[in-house]
Amino acid sequence: MKNEVAAVVGVGPGLGAALVKRFAKEGFTTIAVARRASSLTSLRGGDAPVILYDCDATVPEQVERLYQKIQSDYGPLCITVFNAGAFERREVVETDPADFERCWRIGCFAGFLVGSAAARVMLKQGHGTILFTGATASLRGSAGFVNLAAPKFALRALAQSMARELGPHGIHVAHVIIDGQIRSERYQHLLAERGDDSLIEPDAIADAYLALHRQQRSAWTLELDLRPWVEKF
């Protein structure tokens, strides 16, 4: 019998990598998806193997091929995480229309493509989990963050609509708001200012995603927000 499959779309060195490693450790056949996933060779190491799959999630044909391959080659699609995003901080009057559209395509349109393709596979199975990674900008649009808030607001709406449509068919859809900065090399300097646990540990986020997948369907979560205990909100 084929193993259950976890596919993470939008894998980089931070949260995406933590999710992939967590699912692989749990025994899922794990697929790490990114435009240049084949360059993420460090994910191949360790006791749990990971499949690297190059895919531009803004291109419908590429997304369809990904999920067709999962269905035909790897086994039951157990969980999909949409973790892709793009952001360029600009004031509204300085925002280039092409940059705005690019951020929307990566942060929202790609989420629609991934969510709908995964749903078609899962509807045939009668079960599965689809998770979307959100941010503080999913709830409020701050000055200078139009390129992030617009797609994140829309992604949250997509998750809500999908949850209401797909829940009765046995598919759990949830949206996770990451309200804080994830620990990475980029934000290491903040530790000296704020303390050791002022940044969200990517492994802790991955634990929360796995817990969402394992929820009993009589108590499914639609939206979960995660933040460091010192974060003001």
- Residue corresponding to tokens 């929307």: 104
Strand partners, 184: none
* Residue 43: HSE in the Cβ half-sphere, 13 Å Cα cutoff: 29
**Domain extents for the chain?**
5-226
Q: Using H for helix, E for strand and C for coil, what is the string for 33-65?
A: EECCHHHCHHHHCCCCCEEEEECCCCCHHHHHH
In this predicted structure, the answer to whether residue 77 has a pLDDT above a threshold of 60 is yes
Q: How much is the pTM? A: 0.92
d(CA 119, CA 30): 18
> Which is more confident, 42 or 205?
205
**Range in 11-20, 96-105, 193-202 with the lowest mean pLDDT:** 193-202
Which numeric CATH code is attached to 5-226?
Answer: 3.40.50.720
Strand partners, 226: 178
Digit-coded pLDDT (tens) for 198-222: 789 999 999 999 999 999 999 999 9
Residue 18's pLDDT is 94
Residue 132 in 3-state DSSP?
Answer: strand
What's the whole-number average pLDDT of the chain?
Answer: 90
